[in-house]
Structures are given as structure tokens and as C-alpha cells.
Structure 1
């Protein structure tokens, strides 16, 4: 079906909602892959990832249905939800890019002390024990614990935390601007005349 109106708007808008299901399914797949291969044992982390994936999938579904049906109400709600997601994602991305080494270290230590399952995963996958200091009297799930020659996990985590935060912040910043582009295209598309409507009808 070909839509009437300005080319960039009508051809560009449907492509944006189609990308959301791919991102949401990828997020759900990564969570399932992580728990399937034993990389993640926290069902809370997996549950949050799957919930976010389902939420993005539903948003994309609303956008697709609104675009196909040229439904004014669905397009309006899609535009509002996408704007809220843009604000949240932009804030999180800027926070990731703005964190310095000291703030990263403090957040990592707070997370280490409050999440036992994530701590176990990190110790097993990175082959380290403890956060700042290795204590042979504590229980550790890493392989090096048997020989009592483990290094603490903090230096290993901090080596990659800055790079990961910059990567996540950059990706989030990129997608946040695609979302504001989606809001603009939705606004333009919503104000267009429905091409299936009767041209002689009173609007």
C-alpha cells in the first residue's frame, strides 16, 4: 500500500516501529541466553530484561497498528510513550557518560554488597574473590579459591566498567535521538489525511 503525502514522512515512519520489535526480541533473547549458559543466575535481572523487552515490543506493536490503520488515538499514545522513553533513556545515557572513576567505584561497591547472586556470577566468571581484599575465610565460587591464590574483583571490574558505561551511554544516546525522531515523524504522519478515506467526505 502506498501512502500519499511527503515522501520522507510516509516512507520513514513505518521503518521506525519495525525496528522496535527487533530490539525487544534481542533483549529477551540475550537474557534467556545468559541464564541458559549460566552467565546470569539472578532471576531478578533476567526478569527485568524480559519485562523491558516485552514493554518495547508492545510499544512497537502500538506504533505498527497505528501506522497501518492510521489510527489517531493509537498514534497519539505511541507518540507520548515514545517521548517518555526518550526522556528516561536520555537521562540514563547522560548519567552513564558523566560518571567519573570515583563514582563508578562507589556504585560498584554498593551493588557488590547488595546483590549476592550477581556477586557469585562475577566471582565465577572473572575467577576472583572478594571486592577489595581477598579473604580466604569467606566462601567463594571461583576456581582459584581452591588454591587460595585469588585476586580481588574490584580491579578487574573497574578496568572494564568505564568502557562499558561509555559504550552503553553512547548506544543509549543514539537510540534516544532515534526516538525523538520517531516522535517527530509520528506527529507529522498523524496530521496527514488518511489515504483510504473518501476524498469527497467532509473532514
Structure 2
């Protein structure tokens, strides 16, 4: 439940502080948090009431979430630098708006994507450090380092939380097979 509450609250805070521009990304993360909250509520109700059906569906859904999160985490950790370079280059080339390219160039103090880029002028790239020449820096290198850093963190955290979910599935299986202590003992004979 705590993870789901974090998934609901943190994207809203990030959007309010303008750390995330995409409303669809914020909405998707909040929707995942609400779904995870409902699944955890189902497990909590099943555990409190010793309801076998609720615990069964909780185990199945949580196991499916574990599998999905585990696969995505492994993918994030297994992406090579060449694959990241291809992703960055295809994203840069498919982007039709120059405003995003200028924003990236100003943020990373770079001029071109890479040596193959045929951009002739840097436009209005303003670097915080006046000693840095933006024509010497390529945006691809900075974007790949940035993506690699965050993919490694995302993969590690996803792997950690997926293993926590696997422990939750194991505990639900163990708890589901216990007898209800409030039930009549002679009812099982």
C-alpha cells in the first residue's frame, strides 16, 4: 500500500514542480498507483476476513505484476550503450519540434546530436559555463549517460520491489492455507 501511495503522490508533486512535462506520463503512473492500491486492498480484505477467493485473486494478480516488473527491470539493466545510442538517435531524428531540441541543447550545453549530424549552427545555445564551447560537445553522449544512469536506477529499484512482491505472494500462499482461528473446529470434520 505504501508503494501505491508513493506512485499516486510523487507524480502529482513532480508535475506541480514542473519536473515532468508530460501529463500522460503522470496520469499513467497515477493509474498504476491506483491499480496497485486496489490490489493491495483486495489482499488486505482477504487476509482480515480469511476469504480464500480474495486471497487467490490477490496472489494471481500480484504474481502477474511481479512477472511484468521483473521483466521490465531486467530489460532496464540489460540495455547496452549501443542500443541506447540507437534509441537516442531515432528519438532525436523523429522529433519534429525544434523547441525540444533547443531545450536539450541548452540543458546539456551541446550543439549537435553526434558527428554525423548535419546541423551547421548552434542557434541560441547558452551555456552556464562560458568557458565551455557547445560545438565541442555532442548531445548524444550526454543523453546516453543520463539515460544509462536512470535506467540502472529504475532497473535496480524495480528488481528490489519485484522481489518484495514475490515475498508477498509467498506470504499470501502461506496465509491462504491456514485455518481461520474464529471458525468452528468441528466444521472441518
Matched with 1:154 is 140
Match of 1:198 among 171, 176, 184: 184
**3-state secondary structure, aligned to 1:68:** helix
Matched with 2:43 is 63
Matched with 2:174 is 188
**3-state secondary structure, aligned to 1:173:** helix
Whole-angstrom distance in 1 between the partners of 2:100 and 2:25: 9
Q: Write the deviation string for residues 88-147 of structure 1: whole angstroms up to 9, x where unpaired.
A: 11111111111110011122333445566976875675565664459477988x755xx9
Whole-angstrom distance in 2 between the partners of 1:76 and 1:120: 52
Displacement after TM superposition at 1:46 (Å): 0.9
**3-state secondary structure, aligned to 2:185:** coil
Displacement after TM superposition at 1:75 (Å): 0.3
Match of 1:179 among 154, 165, 186: 165
For 1:45-56, what aligned pairs fall within 5 Å after superposition?
A: 45-56=25-36
Task: Check the 8 A contact 1:127/1:143 in 2, yes or no.
Answer: yes
Whole-angstrom distance in 1 between the partners of 2:103 and 2:141: 16
Matched with 2:153 is 167
Alpha carbon RMSD of aligned pairs, Å? 3.0
Under a length normalisation based on structure 2, what TM-score does the superposition of the two structures give?
Answer: 0.78
Displacement after TM superposition at 1:79 (Å): 0.3
Note closer, same or farther for the CA distance 1:90–1:182 as it changes in structure 2 (3 Å cut): same
**Is the aligned partner of 1:28 residue 2:14?**
no
Note closer, same or farther for the CA distance 1:165–1:23 as it changes in structure 2 (3 Å cut): same
Return 5+ residue gaps in structure 1 as ranges: 1-20
Note closer, same or farther for the CA distance 1:79–1:45 as it changes in structure 2 (3 Å cut): same
Note closer, same or farther for the CA distance 1:187–1:202 as it changes in structure 2 (3 Å cut): same
Query: Paired residues, what number?
Result: 179
